[in-house]
Chain A
């Protein structure tokens, strides 16, 4: 009996190989596989336009760029697969999702489709292309040769030396279901190449709110800290940020309403450039620099908070912080959106120059004089 079972199992092995004609129904020939790296989504009156860009592979095949329309995301993806000819599009390797500005108004729809999708994944970086359709970046005539490489480099720059990290679709889905608003990295096209444009706040059923300049920098701080971003202070000194930590403290009124939100920040920075002749080692100069830096960071935070409260969309997740600090009072607040709109912020910031590159007093001072 055992031998018969062993023989039957051995005979069944060829069917379990995962290759063609096995029981594995999703088999696809790796030779004809085109791995989608960047996927663009645009919406319009005709439905959804999905654009894809594959990467160049070792065999020298040219990257594939395609666009197709459909009534839904899945239908457009199928239409794409059909238009790919002999190539078999593999969506599971998608590394970046780009929403056109129009499509960003329907973020909840796309994230919902991705959460349900058997091919797309939520741990994919999410971008919103400002002022253009995603198809232009992903599959347009002047699109970069390797779209994903361009976006990947951009994300790395944003994380290392820009406003902050690029949120993923999972981050956006979590924020959207939890706080009712989410963040994505905003990009723009410059000569066909993507460049950072701050952040886009995504609200269900509304257009994206673009956060640039000081508001983007402040948002990056709330998102987990900016990269080693350069900041020119009024006195001509240039600092590189080494980190900003924030603490939020809700202050409650006697009637149970939220009187204000105290936001305190501690910034650390390193001096990278200074006017020759300026003695960075003196206590007065250091205090002045730290004051200027603190003022700059305070401005960024205030800009981000003002954008958040002004739009009524809690893309900074302030409600979560207040809820964490005092769940019972938060629950008694009723509508957080209403509370947010009228919320007063009290922002304070301290800064510390933790390092001065090379020397405190430039040896070129005398030469310049």
Chain B
């Protein structure tokens, strides 16, 4: 079977999702929906299933080695190029933002007062190496990382659920509806990022019953995110959760494993690097792939590897990401503002754009002329 397989695609989606979801959702859910915040990811689950539908339908007409980008480009030859170029730019900038957020987490949990620059440089350097390595390698790496991250997450959620004050998860009233809708939108953007963007690199064997598989996957993820939000809200209450910079990591800091391990935040922070790496590498790789599609850049035999379009576009994406990471937020307050008020909505707008294009491509069903995707 040609990789990445369904299992690998889901692993890649899970690992890439974990870092932004744990950073963003518990705080946003508490801010928007107060005690009912834990419902936000659960309410997003049906919407995620709806996202999976047009993407899966579009991918039915993909050729061997192709991803969602190629399908869109075939259906929208001119507009598609502009869209993919814009999306490539967005993904490169997002990679920078993701790496900057990861640096902020390190500073928050372990290296208090440190400059984010070394973390950004190392994160992007390693992400670039991953992006140059190919989709299959990244997917295999994600498949290896997933059990490690689940192993770290399970005790946090287990102990969190055992220690939470269930009274903090109520009341849920009709008055919470607007807040719940906003919180669900945040959750939709976070899970939708994986649902829409991972197919850009989904160049393996077509996944059987893809829409159903991805809807089931997103339902599981939303359930997990709902449990994480419940743990945070139940431990700190909505007021404190909304005020904390990183409520999930505050929960991790305040979790002891019954005398087995008193402090686990360093371990968890270290393991979350795997998610940061996959997210950065994935974003750069997808940005590079879309840029090549938009520029119609094909690999040229005879040119050294580092001069091939793939290496050059990856480098350009990394340079853009670096500029974004250094410029986006000089301090944690600005980073929080950018994260909560800018990236969330830009992400949703870009997802909507991509979904519209995918839905159009699914309707047009333009089959490949016989050639494969970009190399």
Docked Cα-Cα span, A178 to B168, in Å, equals 9
Residues of A within 8 A of B255 (CB): 123
Within 8 A of A (CB), among B100-131: 110-112, 114, 129
Docked Cα-Cα span, A321 to B236, in Å, equals 17
Contact A170 B111 (CB under 8 A): no
Cβ-closest chain A residue relative to B118: A23
Interface string of A11-38 (1 = CB under 8 A from B): 0000000000000011000000000000
Residues of B within 8 A of A115 (CB): 240, 244, 250
Residues of B within 8 A of A92 (CB): 262-263
Contact A174 B236 (CB under 8 A): yes
Contact B167 A317 (CB under 8 A): yes
User: Is B371 close to A, CB under 8 A?
Assistant: no
Cβ-closest chain B residue relative to A26: B110
Residues of B within 8 A of A122 (CB): 236, 250, 254
Cβ-closest chain B residue relative to A118: B112
Q: Which of A125-133, A212-220, A259-267, A324-332 contacts B (4 or more CB under 8 A)?
A: A324-332
CB distance from B280 to the nearest CB of A (A): 17
Contact A331 B175 (CB under 8 A): yes
User: Is B60 close to A, CB under 8 A?
Assistant: no
User: Is A157 close to B, CB under 8 A?
Assistant: no
Residue among A121, A171, A325 with most chain B CB within 10 A: A121
Interface string of B257-287 (1 = CB under 8 A from A): 0000011000000000000000000000000
Residues of B within 8 A of A325 (CB): 171
Cβ-closest chain B residue relative to A18: B266
User: Is B62 close to A, CB under 8 A?
Assistant: no
Contact A327 B263 (CB under 8 A): no
Contact B262 A93 (CB under 8 A): yes
CB distance from A119 to the nearest CB of B (A): 10
Instruction: Pick the residue among A118, A121, A173 that contacts B240 (CB under 8 A).
Output: A173
User: Is A177 close to B, CB under 8 A?
Assistant: yes
User: Is B154 close to A, CB under 8 A?
Assistant: no
User: Is B165 close to A, CB under 8 A?
Assistant: yes
Contact A25 B254 (CB under 8 A): no
Residues of B within 8 A of A25 (CB): 111, 114
Instruction: Pick the residue among B114, B170, B175 that contacts A324 (CB under 8 A).
Output: B170
CB distance from A80 to the nearest CB of B (A): 18
Contact B237 A177 (CB under 8 A): yes
Docked Cα-Cα span, A175 to B236, in Å, equals 9
Query: Number of B interface residues, CB 8 Å?
Result: 29
Given contacts A93-B262, A324-B170, whether A174 and B240 have CB atoms under 8 Å apart is yes
Docked Cα-Cα span, A122 to B236, in Å, equals 9
Docked Cα-Cα span, A327 to B250, in Å, equals 29
CB distance from A230 to the nearest CB of B (A): 28
Contact A324 B167 (CB under 8 A): yes
Docked Cα-Cα span, A27 to B114, in Å, equals 15
Residues of B within 8 A of A346 (CB): none
Docked Cα-Cα span, A115 to B246, in Å, equals 11
Cβ-closest chain A residue relative to B253: A121
Contact B237 A328 (CB under 8 A): no
Residues of A within 8 A of B347 (CB): none
7 nearest A-B pairs in the assembled complex, by CB-CB distance = A327-B173, A174-B237, A177-B239, A123-B254, A324-B171, A324-B170, A178-B237
Q: Please list 15 pairs of residues, one from A and one from B, whose beta carbons are closer than 8 Å in the complex, sorted by A's number.
A: A92-B263, A93-B263, A115-B240, A121-B254, A122-B236, A122-B254, A174-B165, A174-B168, A174-B240, A177-B239, A177-B240, A178-B238, A324-B171, A327-B173, A327-B175
Interface residues of B (CB under 8 A from A): 110-112, 114, 129, 165, 167-168, 170-171, 173-176, 235-240, 243-244, 250, 253-256, 262-263
A115-B240, A115-B250, A324-B167 given; 19 more Cβ-contact pairs under 8 Å = A26-B111, A92-B263, A93-B262, A118-B112, A122-B254, A123-B255, A123-B256, A170-B235, A173-B237, A174-B235, A174-B240, A178-B168, A321-B167, A323-B171, A324-B170, A327-B175, A328-B173, A328-B174, A328-B175
Interface residues of A (CB under 8 A from B): 5, 25-26, 92-93, 115, 118, 121-123, 170-171, 173-175, 177-178, 317, 320-321, 323-325, 327-328, 331
